[in-house]
Amino acid sequence: MATAARLFMERPGGKVNGLPKRTACAPTRSISGEEAAGFVRSGMWLDYGVGLCQPDVFDKALAARKDALENVKIRSCLSMRPRAIAECDPEGTRFFLFSWHFSGYDRKRHDAGRCHYMPLNLGEVPDYYRRFLNPVDIAVLKSCPMDEGGSFNFSASNLWHRAVIERARMVIVEVSHSLPYVYGDENGVHASEVDYIIEGDDQPAPELPNPQPSEIDRAVARRIAAEIEDGACLQIGIGGMPNAVCALLVESGVRDLGVHTEMLTDGIVDLYKAGRITGLRKTLDPGKIVFTFALGSSYLYAAADRNADFCCKQVDYTNSPHIIMQNDRVVSINNTTQIDLQGQAASESDGHRHISGTGGQLQFVRGAYASKGGKSFICLASTYCKGGERRSRIVLNLTPGNIVTTPRSDVMYVVTEYGLVNLKGKSVAERALALISITHPDFREGLEREAYEHRLIPRGVSFG
């Protein structure tokens, strides 16, 4: 094994050059978190992976080296625990965080100027690493202990980790005995590709609170559930409304549902345990619940642990529209926070304040539409409160700075507690009238007046 001195050869000017990849014949060595953090040099790019795979022991050890480093850049996604490197450096003078999708913690760090978003379509990220990003200096990923085949399983978080490993000059795994072991294509890294192993602290896998659906969530869910047929293949997004749909489907008579989704949720596990999901009518991966990552409760992790019905695949498989469409009757259900009268859905920001991310919403909207008999639903509560004032989520113009997640040309069904409308094939005027019809009654008259004033709706025309 190369020594630290050999691993870090510096060019003139202090720039760190490549870390040589280990050979298959070299034994992988166990080291402490402090030893692993000692490999980091100023100016490096590190990768922490996604969700359950983000390291904790290494993160704390790296934070302890704060005063010896500067300009260390770290890519990650969906941080489920506070990151020690951010907490130890509140002014952001040493460590810089870049996220592919915000969790609640990442959002708070962004509000403090400590975390920066990278725009994407989630299913394209493996290609970004392979084609557009410079090599990762050090990848540090949490994993299950080495299995009988000599691999470290990525648990319920596959995504683009294979691409990160391909592009990493050094690969370190932080082993955790508390992660669920989840089956899936290339869901892991073989020991021959790993440079060092850190023994993790085995704290329980981070959980994502499962929001209880509100009455509005249930009202929206009832409209969507009525559109789901036997044999439909589901993509369920995060939040109270999609979970409410799952709860209603548990109680319904719908049969032989399939799942091809980005995120595995507690609601999907409920459907599975109720016998509603069989996957027998899927074209791709029949009988399998296909996903690329899971976040939820310990109940979810226990259900997926060594369960052959669950298959965790890479995100360029789960999220690519040309793959999604190969299953018939794909139903895509996602939230938005604001939609304008032409049908533009803004799902990831509040003006210039970034909230979450594009994720896979646009890719699943397109994949579902292209599927034979497919349907995509964008759902939202008709109103929200801000500063004690009730406001409409359906508006003439999006909030300045808001990011369009799903363009008007792609939006199919829009659902609020007041109704469900289809925008495909409709003119701008028809779209405006349809969306006004599912707005909260208190805002309909004002929106219609604005639509006429701005000529979205021509006068004297009757749409039959």
pLDDT tens digits, 193-231: 999 999 999 899 999 987 788 999 999 999 999 999 999
Percent of the residues in the chain that have a pLDDT greater than 70, as a whole number: 94
Residue 202: what pLDDT? 84
Q: Please identify, in words, the CATH class of the domain defined by 215-453.
A: alpha beta
* Core vs surface per residue 188-217: b (16+ CB within 10 A) or e: bbebebbbbbbebeeeebeebebeebeebb
Residue pLDDT, tens place only, 51-105: 999 999 999 999 999 999 999 999 999 999 999 999 999 988 999 999 999 999 9
Domain spans of the chain, in order of start: 4-199, 215-453
> 29-31 and 419-422: which strand pairing?
unpaired
d(CA 377, CA 244): 14
pLDDT band at 238 (very low <50, low <70, confident <90, very high): confident
Q: Do domains 4-199 and 215-453 have the same CATH topology?
A: yes
Residue 211: what pLDDT? 77
> DSSP 3-state helix, strand, coil percentages of the chain (rounded to 5)?
30, 25, 45
Token representation of residue 9? 């050869």
Residue 459: what pLDDT? 83
> 168-175 and 95-99: which strand pairing?
unpaired
Single out the residue of 255, 236, 263 nearest to residue 101, CA to CA: 263
The domain over range 4-199 is classified in CATH as 3.40.50.2300:
no
Residue 464: what pLDDT? 64
Residue 413 pairs with which residues in a beta bridge?
Answer: 377, 422
Mean pLDDT of 344-350: 96
CB atoms within 10 A of CB 254: 17
pTM here? 0.92
Residue 5: what pLDDT? 32
Mean pLDDT of the chain: 92
Question: In the predicted model, is pLDDT for residue 412 greater than 70?
Answer: yes
Question: In the predicted model, is pLDDT for residue 372 greater than 50?
Answer: yes
Mean pLDDT of 387-409: 96
Percent of the residues in the chain that have a pLDDT greater than 90, as a whole number: 87
Question: In the predicted model, is pLDDT for residue 10 greater than 90?
Answer: no
Among the listed residues 174, 193, 262, 348, the single catalytic one is 262
Burial class (CB in 10 A: 0-12, 13-18, 19+), 244: buried
Select the more confidently predicted residue: 309 or 210.
309
Residue 86: what pLDDT? 96
- Listed in sequence order, the residues at least 6 apart from 312 whose beta carbon sits closer than 8 Å to its beta carbon are 154, 155, 156, 157, 158, 182, 183, 184, 187, 264, 291, 292, 293, 294, 304
Can 417 be counted among the known catalytic residues? no
Residue 462: what pLDDT? 73
* Core vs surface per residue 312-328: b (16+ CB within 10 A) or e: bbbbbbbbbbebbbbbb
Residue pLDDT, tens place only, 259-287: 999 999 999 999 999 999 999 999 999 99
pLDDT band at 378 (very low <50, low <70, confident <90, very high): very high
Single out the residue of 146, 177, 161, 176 nearest to residue 27, CA to CA: 146
Question: In the predicted model, is pLDDT for residue 460 greater than 90?
Answer: no
